[in-house]
Structure 1
Amino acid sequence: MEDAVRSLVFRLLKPLFGEIAEELLAKIQVLSLEQLEALGEALLELRLRALT
């Protein structure tokens, strides 16, 4: 499940911010499931706000 959430986070990041620096990708790789879920929720909110 953690890999699926991490993959979703990466897919949400790219359209919002373009290419992501390797340093940031490495930091995301070590986030806990709880942290990944929180980041994913924040990115979804940001994406929804960008659409309105």
Structure 2
Amino acid sequence: MRESVIYQDILEQGQQRGEIAVIMRQLNRRIGPLTPEIQAQIQTLSIPQLEDLAEALLDFSQPTDLTIWLQNHPS
């Protein structure tokens, strides 16, 4: 069962959702509430992009930092 494509897809979706949830909480704490548009953009990012964002957000000090990052890393 672990080798099935469907099983792997489910695992990947779960990992992506978990990373999105953590990143959203971190961003809310770091730069304040996110607009629905920004939240939607983050939800479309791939796992590698989410991992990059998780590192980059440590340097964010204002919402425009996130906006610029998203413009430079389209999904």
Instruction: Mark yes or no: TM-score above 0.5.
Output: yes
4+ aligned runs moved over 6 Å, structure 1: none
Larger helix share, 1 or 2? 1
- Any stretches of 5+ residues in structure 1 without a counterpart? 48-52
Listed as ranges, the matches of 1:11-50 within 5 Å are 11-43=25-57, 45-46=58-59
Name the Cα RMSD after superposition.
Answer: 1.3
Aligned length: 46
Question: Displacement of 1:17 after TM fit?
Answer: 1.3
Please give the alpha-carbon distance, in whole angstroms, between the structure 1 residues aligned to 2:17 and 2:26: 14
| TM-score, with structure 2 as normaliser | 0.56
**Identity fraction in percent:** 35
Please give the alpha-carbon distance, in whole angstroms, between the structure 2 residues aligned to 1:23 and 1:4: 19
Max radius of gyration: which structure?
2
| TM-score, with structure 1 as normaliser | 0.77
